Amino acid sequence: MNWVVRHSPGDDLAIESTGWDGDGRCLAVTSHGLRFWDGCSWSIAPLEGVPQSVRPRFVSRVAAGRWLSGGDHATLFEYARGGVSRIVRGRRPEVTFLNAAGTLDELAVVVGQAHGSPPMLFGLVGRCWLKALPLPWAAVIASLTQLDDEHWLVCGRRTDGRGFVAVYQPLEWQIDELDSGTSRAYLSCAVQREREIAIAVGAEGAVVRLERGRSSSRVLDGRPNLACAAIDVFDREWAGALGELWASNAGGAWSRVWYDPNWTRPFVSIHADVGSIIAMTADGGVLECQASLSRIQRS
């Protein structure tokens, strides 16, 4: 596996959320606002049309060259390379939108929270808002991803200090927790919709795998604190932690495939495509592996 540093870590910014396009470019919410990674360097992403009072909190890819973002005052907006294309507002302006997955034209699920209130899940159908589902047992919803047309995978941390992974059905106003072991938090989840496979990863090496409705859990050797996840089209599963990357072939044993103790900020995002794996650290470092791997070996 030949890894190449595309951008050295150590930038004076913090990556808060990313949305990878199919060509390895990325729109990111950072501590310095919305930024665009073109494969070589970072640039400012313009936000004309979005009120200055709305700070973007997340970004997720919805189609080639299109992203969904949002933030303060219950504001969602769709973003393309040309800028903001449309804006949708929630019914409760005191709510901050923290994450979302889906599309504005069909069905989307949005994570929101108001000051002093528990996290909530909002369903949006063709710009019509469904009844919000509050989660009083949840302290943080860290990540969500769309499993299929009617189900979303949600993960985070409970108020009792345990991590959780759950499946949410917005049209049924129902959420069901999965057996998620003893991790104190799950921080990221990813899906390969065509093959009905999803994973959630978290603290102390915890991994929950969901395949065609059946879940299983495991803990990786060394118990690394996993902060990001991805699944490529060959069912290889990827996860990142502080200074290391891990991979598994189709639910098999996990191996550490890259390690460098000099990278002092954790990986927070992974883009897994055909023949290319790109991982990004919390301070904007970008590492890429150009390879079509038939197997994964321990480094």
Range 81-116 burial, b when 16+ CB lie within 10 A, else e: eeebeeebbbeeeebbbbbbbbbbeebbbbbbbeee
Domain ranges of the chain: 46-134
- Average pLDDT on 108-134 reads 95
Q: Return d(Cα 97, Cα 110) in angstroms, integer.
A: 7
Average pLDDT value over all residues in the chain: 93
Question: CA 146 to CA 196: how far, in whole Å?
Answer: 11
> Quick one: what percent of the chain has pLDDT higher than 70?
97
What pLDDT does 85 receive?
85
**pLDDT category, 298, cuts 50, 70, 90?**
very low
**Residues 165-187 pLDDT 10s:** 999 999 999 999 999 888 999 99
Predicted local distance difference test score (pLDDT) of residue 299: 42
What value does the mean pLDDT take over residues 2-26? Answer: 92
Query: What is the pLDDT at residue 262?
Result: 94
**pLDDT-based confidence at 291, cuts 50/70/90?**
low
The answer to whether residue 294 scores a pLDDT higher than 60 is no
C-alpha dihedral over 127, 133, 134, 139, to 10 degrees? -90
pLDDT higher than 50, residue 297: no
Q: Return the minimum-mean-pLDDT range out of 50-54, 57-61, 263-267, 292-296.
A: 292-296
For residue 208, what are the CA distances in angstroms to 28, 165, 191? 26, 8, 12
What is the reported pLDDT for 251?
87
The per-residue pLDDT for range 226-247, each reduced to its tens digit, is: 999 999 988 899 999 999 999 9
Condensed to tens digits (0 to 9), the pLDDT of residues 67-119 reads 999 999 999 999 987 789 889 999 999 999 999 999 988 999 999 999 999 99
